[in-house]
Chain A
């Protein structure tokens, strides 16, 4: 490795987190720690019906008996669940504002700093944004227009009040609270998140989007998102996150459930840029996310696209259960880790129905002293006749102190199903670098170009609104950097 490379690497690692700032808003917190009282407090605050409280308490009793999953290739100090606030809401938000002008101006400013002005976005991008600031939904835009089509897009809290039938039927149906300890934890203490219901035959005309943002110190965020696409409908959902700079590790354990009924399609895109910790590995978000989609009906389709650049610890496996015949699952992922970041991410495709298809494209880029692991499971059950899977996972190593790991699990119980898996690991091709430099690009531009090219297969799957941001994010992640 040449000295230029080392210099650029060095300057990269000093690159500060761009979105590191804190908004000072008075918090209303529950007491620290997790017990039945905390859960009752949350439930009371959110004005929930009794059946919801029972559901939470049941999940809590399961959580008490469970241990954290240990198989991931991650190392971090034990999480002290009693040292975390489980509820925090910006003051005065118990009665929701009717429109944006009623929202705390400071909050709006925060989003402006992030480059996502609500007012502007309403007009320009045609995106309806359901903003989660810490734990309470602040504003929901474009609601009226969606309502006309019969689409329900609101916070999960609101959905519990207004659409209890749907919630009772679907909440926890894809990720049972007792699935593993993080799902049980989330089920017990989730405070907010989004709820989407697309009625039969409706194609949602715009990308639905939520920006999550952790703000208050020591507050774990436990969102719960539930998306239901009824027969023949289509929805594309965007989720993006940036978090302010903090020194304490913050726990984030979200659960996302998708349900696609017959002929329905759900496209779920994420750009994740939580605070990754500083160059010594101090601080950063612990991100333990469970995302799972169920292709319940025939010909349904679920597609996950993710760009993961943040978090100190990423533990995330967006999965598809392909139950309906002819259903399709897709997973596109770019994961970039730097400094002391650790990512263990991948997917799980479970083929149950006939003629089910899945496709996995995963690109991992490791820099600095980070560890980047792809972990994916593809399984064909006995009745998955003619099922098909294609998996490709490539890793790029930059610097000689990082690690790139690939751990696929492949299980076939059907003799008409075909599975193909390929993976490769290498460093940036010297010839390509040389070619770009020869054409007058400087080293950094050349690397950025090559890395963007490496990720292109995934980035092009993102919706327009995200593609630009994601490309920028990849470049920012490499800014002043790389060799």
Chain B
């Protein structure tokens, strides 16, 4: 079934379909799909994707009866269980959680510029069926843990979340994706950081082989803000991590990091994009990947420095280890610079594990597999040791051990 028929047939289940404005916008999106089909040849961001799952899908969505829970066990600790992309409303003097509204749709889907050509974001806007909005109120320091749960097989979830960090607030956000069914989640996070606010964002992805996860983040940073994102991808199904960041005002900072561990026939597409639109901003994009068996990955990084963004510092690093001769890794680190007083660089390496290092360890009596495992752990040690949350750190170590146990 093509996208248009799919949309018309399921219109009644899709958010805001009674809103005339949004309807016209969606018709425009359908036109884009009609004119610019998913053209794998000319759009390398579609590499490795089994498009059938995304164009020709069967729309199915369930509103779960289990109410999502918000548990305030400690003062500033909240844990949220989001079921099929839904979350019940909540309000206290520190945070406020609501459903997303028409205006949120407009705010993002119509005004965004970076992702205009991103088909998956457009699909998300078109079939939107879930999502919530979290506001962190002024000058609060909050920790939130969100478990994203999908209840049934064959669901297609199109979710949009809004996070707003008000002035002076700081948020530590942990998101977990651990699903074992055949569903597809297409999630768009829109993050707004007001003056002097800080967000530490962890994403742990560990889905089973049939679960597809498309996750896109769009963060916009105002004055004196920092946005740090760390993605740990242990999933066995397809994962697409596309993260866009806009530095709108001076002295803001974006740090986008990711590690992915792939095996079997896994595929993972990753992209980070930082747009420097003001002076004195910093950005950092670091992705590391380990690919085993027949897995395939892509990583696109992009630093865009506007003409006014003097004194910018923008760094990119991409590193890949190929453990098997059937694995493949494609990386495209881009710099687009229109200002002269900048320091920007990128580095990219792809290769096997250093043979000399293996030789050294083996000459000390270690088996080849043990040596390989040690070198893999040290490859990502820098990223793991920088996690300041003990619980998180333990969890990730455990998953790493599980991954390493499959390495032969």
**Beta-carbon nearest neighbor of B304 in chain A:** A405
Docked-complex contact A407 and B334, CB < 8 angstroms: yes
Alpha-carbon gap, A386 to B351, bound state (A): 10
Task: List, in ascending order, chain B residues with CB within 8 A of A71's CB.
Answer: 42
Docked-complex contact B345 and A425, CB < 8 angstroms: yes
CB distance from B324 to the nearest CB of A (A): 6
The verdict on A427 contacting B341 (CB below 8 Å), with A412-B322, A417-B351 known, is yes
Number of interface residues of A (CB under 8 A): 35
Which chain A residues in 277-330 approach chain B with CB under 8 Å?
none
Alpha-carbon gap, A103 to B333, bound state (A): 52
**Beta-carbon nearest neighbor of B340 in chain A:** A397
Say yes or no: is A166 at the interface (Cβ < 8 Å to chain B). no
The verdict on A403 contacting B337 (CB below 8 Å), with A415-B352, A427-B342 known, is yes
Pick from A382, A399, A409 the residue with the most CB of B within 10 Å: A409
Docked-complex contact B344 and A424, CB < 8 angstroms: yes
Task: List, in ascending order, chain A residues with CB within 8 A of B351's CB.
Answer: 412, 417-419
CB distance from A98 to the nearest CB of B (A): 52
Alpha-carbon gap, A395 to B340, bound state (A): 10
CB distance from A482 to the nearest CB of B (A): 12
The verdict on A424 contacting B340 (CB below 8 Å), with A406-B334, A412-B320, A412-B328 known, is no
Docked-complex contact A408 and B348, CB < 8 angstroms: yes
Docked-complex contact A400 and B341, CB < 8 angstroms: yes
The verdict on A414 contacting B325 (CB below 8 Å), with A421-B346, A426-B343 known, is yes
Say yes or no: is B327 at the interface (Cβ < 8 Å to chain A). yes
Docked-complex contact B335 and A413, CB < 8 angstroms: no
Which chain B residues in 206-228 approach chain A with CB under 8 Å?
none
0/1 string, B315-358, CB within 8 A of A gives 1 = 00000101111011111111111111111111111111000000
Task: List, in ascending order, chain B residues with CB within 8 A of A407's CB.
Answer: 332, 334-335
Task: List, in ascending order, chain B residues with CB within 8 A of A402's CB.
Answer: 338, 340
The verdict on A401 contacting B307 (CB below 8 Å), with A415-B322, A421-B347, A424-B345 known, is yes
Say yes or no: is A416 at the interface (Cβ < 8 Å to chain B). yes
**Beta-carbon nearest neighbor of B316 in chain A:** A423
Pick from A382, A412, A424, A427 the residue with the most CB of B within 10 Å: A412
Task: List, in ascending order, chain B residues with CB within 8 A of A416's CB.
Answer: 325, 352
Task: List, in ascending order, chain B residues with CB within 8 A of A395's CB.
Answer: 335, 337
Docked-complex contact A408 and B332, CB < 8 angstroms: yes
Docked-complex contact B339 and A400, CB < 8 angstroms: yes
Docked-complex contact A400 and B333, CB < 8 angstroms: no
> Shortest 7 CB-CB distances between A and B: which pairs?
A415-B322, A418-B351, A397-B340, A421-B348, A424-B345, A413-B328, A412-B350
20 contacts between A and B (CB under 8 A): A397-B339, A397-B342, A398-B340, A400-B307, A405-B337, A407-B334, A410-B333, A411-B328, A412-B320, A412-B329, A415-B327, A416-B352, A418-B350, A421-B333, A421-B348, A423-B345, A424-B344, A425-B342, A425-B344, A426-B343
